Homo-oligomer: A and B are copies of this chain.
Amino acid sequence: MAAGSLATRLRERLRGGPPLVGTFVKLPALESVDLVRSLGFDLAVVDGEHSQLDEGAILSLLRHGAALDLPMLVRTSTRDAGSLNRMIEAGAAGIQLSTLRACAERDALVSATRYAPDGTRSVSLAHPAADYSGIPLAQYLERSKEFPLLVGQIETASTIDPLPEILRGLDAAFIGTTDLSVDLGRPGMLDDARVTGRVSEIATAASSAGVALGAWVASADALAKLGDARFRYVLVGSDLQALRAGLSMVASAARKALA
* A→B interface (CB under 8 Å): 18-19, 21, 23, 26-32, 34-36, 38-41, 47-52, 54-57, 59, 63-64, 67-68, 76-78, 80-82, 85-86, 89-90, 98-99, 115-117, 120, 122-128, 131-134, 136-138, 141, 155, 176, 178-179, 182-183, 185, 187-188, 218-221, 223-224, 231, 234, 236-251, 253-258
Whether A238 pairs with B80 at a CB distance below 8 angstroms is no
Most chain B CB within a 10 A radius of its CB, from A29, A221, A237? A29
What are the 6 closest A-B residue pairs judged by CB atoms, nearest first? A242-B246, A50-B124, A246-B246, A220-B253, A77-B82, A54-B56
Chain B residue nearest to A64 (CB atoms) is: B67
Closest CB of chain B to A160's CB: distance in Å? Answer: 13
Q: Which residues of B contact A223 (CB under 8 A)?
A: 254, 257-258
Whether B63 pairs with A30 at a CB distance below 8 angstroms is yes
Whether B231 pairs with A258 at a CB distance below 8 angstroms is yes
Q: Can you name 29 A-B pairs with beta carbons within 8 Å? A: A27-B27, A27-B29, A27-B31, A27-B243, A31-B52, A49-B86, A49-B124, A51-B86, A52-B63, A54-B56, A64-B67, A80-B80, A98-B122, A122-B179, A123-B178, A123-B187, A124-B178, A133-B241, A137-B187, A221-B257, A224-B257, A231-B258, A234-B258, A237-B246, A242-B242, A242-B245, A242-B249, A243-B246, A245-B245
